[in-house]
Copies of this chain bind each other. A is one copy, B any other.
Amino acid sequence: MSDDLLDDPRLTAVGLFFEVHTGLNARFAAQLCEHGLSPVEFEVLMRLARSPDRQLRMTDLASQTSLSTSGVTRVVDRMERDRYIARRACSSDRRSSYAVITQSGLTKLEQILPGHLALVEEWFTGRLPGDQLATVLDALRTIRDAVNPGATAGSSLGDSDRASHSRPRPEEQSDGAEPSGDAAERLVVEV
């Protein structure tokens, strides 16, 4: 085994990236845990809260969360039991159902977010000077668009019961290079 291979700077780069992820994740998870939520559950709450009508089809939730559809079924089971979200039938396609965040779920989010934002600030955004942060976000966007073109599949279409059926887009494609106005995109304009 040549050490050249093991010392490749590209390994350093991803290694660094993954370590940062691990570190941030641990901190966030600890805070969420105090609120009785797992990271996955928090993400579900966030996704729903930021989606049109605060709801998402199960499938779309799955494609936005790196969970499988069966995983989504079970997370939604738990969170429905805890009254943070509810299932709602889709009027135009009886195969589909929506997960919709409840008032209780929104309240939960309101309790969590300030602390969460403080952590983000403390361990991520606040550690980088403005221009460096901008560069980083720019880079992240570049990579995200390449690596995860369908990330915002279900939420990017504005209307209510929307084109849910009409299969808005294939999404899911590995290399779609889809442009699509993406939700996260909007939000970052002013960082």
Footprint of B on A, CB under 8 Å? 1, 5-24, 26-27, 46, 49-50, 66, 106-107, 109-110, 113-114, 117, 120-121, 123-125, 127-128, 132-133, 135-144, 146-148, 151, 173-177, 184, 187-188, 190-191
Residues of B within 8 A of A19 (CB): 144, 148, 151, 173-174, 184
In the assembled complex, the Cα of A114 lies from the Cα of B5 at a distance in Å of 8
Q: Are B13 and A191 interface neighbours, CB within 8 A?
A: yes
For the complex of A and B, 7 pairs with smallest distance between CB atoms: A23-B147, A23-B148, A15-B174, A12-B187, A1-B106, A12-B188, A16-B140
In the assembled complex, the Cα of A127 lies from the Cα of B132 at a distance in Å of 18
Q: Are B144 and A23 interface neighbours, CB within 8 A?
A: yes
